[in-house]
A and B are shown apart, each in its own frame.
Chain A
């Protein structure tokens, strides 16, 4: 929907409100607070036909141990998660390459200071292969890692699981990209 510029004194109709204000580009879907000393977080029924593409933001908590959070879509459990990219220590000039195929993709590093994840995922609900990207920052390093999930199964949710230790606090928020 095109952008409309309102003028002073113009009547703001219900139709205009629904069209130009409620129909924003990135639309809130759901949000959850992560519990205390949990090993995993599962968000169900957040993906649907309403949106094709989604953004998942995780922030605000702390972990009991340093590990990576693995993201897995609901119902897609095989070794079909392909990811590559790089990670780099703050202040370091050299980047470390990464490439792997497994049962999750790395969403972010979790440690005693924080866990921060920014995940873009295309078509998790549609019956097509899924592509996306994870970007994250920790007090140790930063990641930028595109991924490809070699499955056409439809997923309605996802889980995050620690490599070791537990998570406490923070929020997960899911947004959908409005189609039109």
Chain B
């Protein structure tokens, strides 16, 4: 199964990378359940 990807930017180095999220990052993704459904 393909893992979700994310953009990661470090303001100190100015580097921006795009990579797959790690299992830990996936597990720690914020729950969006508190967000209302957009109209």
Q: Do A and B actually bind?
A: yes
- The reply to whether the CB of B1 lies closer than 8 angstroms to some CB of chain A is no
- The reply to whether the CB of A154 lies closer than 8 angstroms to some CB of chain B is no
A124 vs chain B, min Cβ distance (A)? 13
Q: How many residues of chain B have a CB within 8 Å of chain A?
A: 25
B32 vs chain A, min Cβ distance (A)? 4
Given A35-B7, A41-B9, A46-B11: A72 in contact with B30 (beta carbons within 8 A): yes
Nearest to B13 among chain A residues (CB) is: A45
Q: How many residues of chain A have a CB within 8 Å of chain B?
A: 48
- A-B contacts counted at CB < 8 A amount to 110
A161 CA / B35 CA spacing, docked (Å): 11
Is A98 within 8 A of B36, CB to CB?
yes
Is A42 within 8 A of B38, CB to CB?
no
- The reply to whether the CB of B24 lies closer than 8 angstroms to some CB of chain A is no
B5 vs chain A, min Cβ distance (A)? 5
Q: Scoring A residues 58 to 102 as 1 if CB is less than 8 Å from chain B, else 0, what string do you get?
A: 000000001110101000010001000001010000001010111
* Residues of chain B within 8 A of A32, CB atoms compared: 7, 9, 16
- The reply to whether the CB of A164 lies closer than 8 angstroms to some CB of chain B is yes
* Residues of chain B within 8 A of A41, CB atoms compared: 6-9
Given A40-B4, A42-B8, A44-B10: A141 in contact with B39 (beta carbons within 8 A): yes
Given A30-B11, A35-B5: A87 in contact with B39 (beta carbons within 8 A): yes
Given A103-B30, A161-B32: A111 in contact with B11 (beta carbons within 8 A): no
Is B32 within 8 A of A163, CB to CB?
yes
Residues of B within 8 A of A (CB): 4-12, 14, 16, 18, 21, 25, 28-36, 38-39
Residues of A within 8 A of B (CB): 29-30, 32-46, 66-68, 70, 72, 77, 81, 87, 89, 96, 98, 100-104, 106, 109, 111, 138, 140-141, 157, 159, 161-164, 166, 172, 174
Known: A103-B34, A159-B30. 19 other contacts (CB 8 A): A33-B16, A35-B18, A40-B25, A42-B6, A42-B9, A70-B32, A81-B34, A89-B39, A98-B36, A100-B36, A102-B31, A102-B34, A103-B31, A104-B32, A104-B35, A138-B38, A141-B39, A161-B32, A163-B32
